[in-house]
Structure 1
């Protein structure tokens, strides 16, 4: 048999920890001497995740402008471009965090159309503890409407395994509660416990992904009207800018200040945050700060430990509010941060919108 690429896709809701998990997986496979390509995905360009992974030295292609399912040909073209010099042993794929029905629209088409070129790993979906707990409990204060919560529930339903992430931040009781909620809603689906940040539980994930078999068969019975309405409730923003100053400033303090300021202003507006990320890049170094929900604290996930006079920033925000209002919050937050740190900012590009209705390129039932 000719060389087959191992296709590993890891799904999960916005802020679940997909990028950190894929980065750790990439390092693991590269340490084994394997060639690895990563494909990120977003509804727009200027993706923090892409820049973060590239800054860590990984070979990354980006599918922008639509989800994998709606831009399937671009996904396969991106994989092909990653293999221009050497066919990768492993492709790690990170889908948009507001997408579901990926078994029928991504995994099954790869199986049918590219069967000779790829072997399919089990499809793992990461459960985001903060929103996952509230949604699976059916709490009124889940932060999202039932239509948006529908997406997270459907993501879990199609998984070959569900990963409870961030166990380093959770008590044993909290982890056990999440495990019980998952087993109640999705009996029979294996559950893994993981800290993508520290690596606790990582060996179990690797062992699960190494299995061979007919994975990716949990094709959903899904209502695309509810799915589309749920996605459209999220305001989406990707913004790039350059920040400068006559004197040096702490990049890490600025990154955290932007996220903190946005967290507070969005909370005051009662707009639930699905995910905020910002990355600062300049001359070989970078730093990343993020926020995964309105009830969490901002985190400097990848510190730069740098003092700078000039830096390029990218801000990604996924928030349950009107995208026009979201853009106003972001620009005001940057202005406030500039004032506090004696800096100036020049916005280069801002895209703010609601995701359109998903229209998959292909959709196969597992029995077709």
Structure 2
């Protein structure tokens, strides 16, 4: 019998807002469980009431969350959250989902784990999921990429520090689009492996598992990063998290409410030319859960996970990340929710709404050199 101490395999998958990280992590966790491994998940957001936490827990996963700041700025809570998960059920693997507008995660999360917590964690190669909708526009260097050059700077830096890159949503792309993305990524990061995957259908997930099982010289790409530009890029996005209860005397179709809210917001935001980074609604009631989302201004609103639920009561969470003033975003969300609900004969009661711009990143640790 080995006397080696038990190490938790730490897997972190990054990527821009709306890249499909939550769907990928849910499927990845299930595949690890099918291998007989115990899995924990840690979600992350700048605000409380994380929609991704609710969604992953509804899939039966053991989920902790780091709320109120990104992993890099709240590193101690990241490690303590993993420790809390370990008290309940000693996980073999912990999968971490960082905030979608964060970069510099190798210097501020991966390297601190490797250098300060080597006895506890066995860190996997760091993968970044490419968001095709904004990825094509930014990598093509289109003048109208949807975001300012400052936000595009964050997107590119995320790709630059990755050990490997994942083109996700290939089920939604043509073969020509997949090839163009592969070519653009190869030109941008010529020495970085590229995987093709659909987290939704499961295609390519075996390749992701194989990549994450690799050992070697990974997590070494320390960025040269302009933190002023990084902070300004993040601050261009208005963030909103809102939770509410929807009730009616008659049963209503939960999925219609979720999709109606997202579609209503898509139309409103398009009218004021506000670029959407990610917009997501989740509905939960008695074991049922559904998700509708919008990942960019030039893609349709979709019911990404139908609940097939008809009910008189549901809990709904709205997450919005949009290039617009956060108070304007709050007004739009509240008006659309009230309007869509009213048309369906549903009454809504808001519990908590947070709307803000992210503050300047101040990492707990930042290692300027990789471990030897």
- TM-score range (shorter-chain normalised) is over 0.9
Deviation for aligned residue 1:80: 0.3
Q: Within 5 Å, which residues of 2 pair with 1:169-248? A: 169-248=172-251
Q: Within 5 Å, which residues of 2 pair with 1:1-368? A: 1-367=4-370
Deviation for aligned residue 1:335: 1.2
Deviation for aligned residue 1:104: 0.1
User: What SS does the corresponding residue of 1:277 show, helix, strand or coil?
Assistant: strand
Q: State how far apart, in whole Å, the 2-side matches of 1:284 and 1:204 are.
A: 32
User: What SS does the corresponding residue of 1:309 show, helix, strand or coil?
Assistant: strand
Return 5+ residue gaps in structure 1 as ranges: none
CA deviation map 1:99-138 (0-9, x unaligned): 0000000000000110011111110000100001101111
Deviation for aligned residue 1:12: 0.1
- TM-score, normalising length: structure 1: 0.99
Q: What is the alpha-carbon root mean square deviation over aligned residues?
A: 0.8
Q: State how far apart, in whole Å, the 2-side matches of 1:224 and 1:93 are.
A: 23
Deviation for aligned residue 1:85: 2.8
CA deviation map 1:283-323 (0-9, x unaligned): 22111111111111111111111111111110000000000
CA deviation map 1:5-64 (0-9, x unaligned): 000000000000100111111001111111100000000011111100000100000100
Deviation for aligned residue 1:351: 0.1
Instruction: Give the paired residue count.
Output: 368
User: What SS does the corresponding residue of 2:231 show, helix, strand or coil?
Assistant: helix
Return 5+ residue gaps in structure 2 as ranges: none
Q: State how far apart, in whole Å, the 1-side matches of 2:294 and 2:355 are.
A: 19
Whether the 8 Å CA contact 2:222–2:370 is kept in 1: the answer is: no
Deviation for aligned residue 1:86: 2.8
Q: Judging changes above 3 Å, is the alpha-carbon distance between structure 1 residues 27 and 367 closer, same or farther for their aligned structure 2 residues?
A: closer
Q: Post-superposition, which runs of at least 4 consecutive aligned residues in structure 1 deviate over 2 A?
A: 365-368
User: What SS does the corresponding residue of 2:170 show, helix, strand or coil?
Assistant: coil
